[in-house]
């Protein structure tokens, strides 16, 4: 089904133009030489070196993982100078890559002029600190990088709160002092005490910061809980009207928002970038026979998605758990689409009730994909449809599959509806599947399949045709 408004994505185009206008520009990032003297600074973009530890799989898998890290770094606004992979049985417990390789990394950082090292994994606080002491530049891990991207792209109040909660959850065990500044103890008169008995060790500055972070996290959890009430209300309203729901899930940048636009003309932001859209979007659509259903676009997934984000976005991901059908979108032009499918399913497996929901694998970007890869995916995933959200190819077939997979309406009616209850006929068109309709002198003869709620309403108001 092609919607003409798909070509006129005013809202998404405006948001894309605004985002591009505010993207980081080379040579304009800030690095403080001394945090106590903020006026002494150098202006330059973060120039990064990527480093990964290859513990299993093939070298192609390791290179694909580092390529994805490169895309993440560029999405965050960095310039990637070098990428390195080390083969180890397991990451070094002290410096992630081992002391000797850390020294080699320091030389590479110095020769390239990099100011940041990004590690392809989640590092412990000790690994971060010790690796920074060796390489002499800032070190961040994959989790911190993804959190930074989410912070840039969060737009709604709920999205910002969810990202802040995830960032604080990540920061809390990694909080550390700068020199001796954060380890000062506060007690005595500094803490409000007076004279003998009022002096003591008190709280250290870092303990005070940890307590404030915990208080802020508790407040954010309460706020997110309150915000999710509105979504639950809308969801319960759709459930009460028995409108079936379809959730679009999949890897980041697989084309979920483009598919939503193609099916509904929603006009949401579309950008060739990782995690371009974070806020869930719910729109109405119709099957070829006219049956109404809702489509919900959800946040994208990625390999090793930080568990802090999964917890923070759990209320958003409930749209998937409450759906009647899942459209699992995968990028057919990606070098390893099977790993994308596995990464998404790993996250979805942690959500309640998802295992029992029917799934359709939608292989997107068919216009740019290798036909051999498409044939391989079709063989591996029996319940799949190949589409191109950009050109519209395969969309009609996808709508036919959605129509077949949506839960069937249990009640078939053949009734005479009085003309003063035309609202029931209208609801039959919206909520059910109208098979035939006839207008007589006494009213409208309606034959349709309808949900239970509408069936009971018709049963109270209309008359069966056999009794007329």
Per-residue confidence band for 306, with pLDDT thresholds at 50, 70 and 90: confident
Check residue 76 and give its pLDDT: 85
Q: Is 338 exposed, middle or buried (0-12, 13-18, 19+ CB in 10 A)?
A: middle
Q: Would the pLDDT of 231 be above 70?
A: no
**CATH for the stretch 411-467:** 3.30.70
Q: Mean pLDDT lowest for which of 154-168, 169-183, 221-235? A: 169-183
Q: Select the more confidently predicted residue: 49 or 299.
A: 49
Alpha carbons within 13 angstroms on the beta-carbon side of residue 155 total 16
Name the phi and psi angles at 363, rounded to 5: -85, 105
| CATH 3.40.50.150 for the 40-149 domain, yes or no | no
Using one digit for the tens of pLDDT, what is the confidence trace for 82-126?
A: 999 888 889 999 999 988 999 999 999 999 989 899 999 889 888
Using one digit for the tens of pLDDT, what is the confidence trace for 337-378?
A: 998 899 889 888 877 778 778 899 999 999 989 999 999 998
Q: What is the fold, at CATH topology level, of the domain defined by 243-405?
A: Rossmann fold (3.40.50)
**Domain chopping of the chain, boundaries:** 40-149, 243-405, 411-467
Q: Would the pLDDT of 31 be above 50?
A: no
Over pLDDT 70: what percentage of the chain? 75
Q: Would the pLDDT of 202 be above 60?
A: no
106-112's contacts with Cβ under 8 Å and 24+ in sequence apart are 106/134, 106/135, 106/136, 108/49, 108/82, 108/84, 109/49, 109/135, 109/136, 109/137, 112/47, 112/49, 112/81, 112/82
Mean of the pLDDT values across residues 238-242? Answer: 56
40-149 and 411-467 have identical folds: no
Using one digit for the tens of pLDDT, what is the confidence trace for 4-28?
A: 444 455 556 656 565 555 444 444 4
Report residue 273 as tokens.
């970038």
């Amino acid at each position: 089904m092609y919607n003409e408004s798909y070509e006129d994505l005013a809202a998404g185009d405006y948001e894309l133009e605004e985002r591009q206008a505010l993207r980081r520009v080379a040579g304009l990032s800030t690095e403080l030489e001394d945090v106590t003297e903020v006026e002494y600074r150098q202006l330059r973009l973060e120039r990064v070196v990527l480093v990964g530890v290859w513990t299993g799989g093939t070298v192609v898998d390791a290179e694909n993982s580092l390529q994805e890290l490169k895309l993440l770094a560029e999405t965050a606004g960095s310039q990637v100078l070098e990428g390195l992979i080390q083969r180890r049985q397991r990451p070094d417990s002290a410096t992630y890559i081992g002391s000797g390789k850390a020294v080699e990394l320091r030389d590479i950082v110095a020769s390239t002029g990099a100011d940041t090292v990004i590690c392809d994994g989640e590092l412990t606080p000790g690994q971060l600190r010790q690796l920074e002491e060796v390489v002499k530049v800032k070190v961040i891990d994959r989790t911190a990088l993804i959190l930074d991207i989410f912070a840039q792209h969060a737009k709604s109040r709920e999205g910002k709160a969810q990202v802040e909660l995830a960032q604080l959850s990540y920061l809390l065990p990694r909080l550390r002092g700068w020199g001796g500044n954060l380890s000062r103890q506060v007690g005595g008169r500094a803490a409000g005490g007076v004279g003998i008995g009022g002096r003591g060790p008190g709280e250290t500055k870092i303990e005070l910061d940890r307590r404030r972070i915990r208080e802020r996290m508790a407040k954010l959890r309460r706020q997110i809980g309150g915000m999710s009430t509105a979504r639950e209300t809308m969801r319960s309203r759709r459930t009460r009207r028995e409108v079936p729901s379809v959730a679009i899930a999949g890897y980041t940048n697989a084309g979920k928002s483009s598919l939503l636009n193609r099916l509904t003309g929603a006009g949401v932001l579309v950008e060739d970038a990782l995690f371009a859209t974070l806020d869930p979007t719910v729109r109405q659509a119709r099957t070829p026979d006219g049956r109404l259903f809702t489509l919900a676009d959800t946040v994208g997934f990625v390999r090793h998605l930080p568990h802090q984000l999964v917890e923070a976005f759990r209320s958003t991901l409930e749209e998937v758990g409450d759906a009647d059908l899942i459209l699992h979108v995968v990028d057919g032009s990606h070098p390893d689409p099977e790993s994308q499918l596995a990464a998404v399913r790993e996250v979805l497996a942690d959500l309640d009730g998802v295992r029992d929901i029917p799934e359709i694998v939608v292989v997107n970007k068919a216009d740019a994909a290798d036909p051999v890869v498409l044939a391989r995916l079709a063989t591996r995933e029996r319940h799949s449809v190949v589409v191109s959200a950009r050109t519209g190819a395969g969309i009609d077939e996808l709508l036919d599959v959605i129509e077949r997979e949506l839960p069937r309406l249990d009640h078939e009616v053949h009734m005479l509806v009085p003309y003063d209850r035309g609202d029931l006929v209208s609801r039959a068109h919206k909520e059910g599947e109208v098979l035939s309709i006839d207008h007589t002198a006494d009213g409208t003869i309606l034959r349709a399949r309808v949900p239970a709620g509408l069936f009971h309403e018709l049963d109270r108001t209309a008359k069966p045709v056999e009794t007329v």
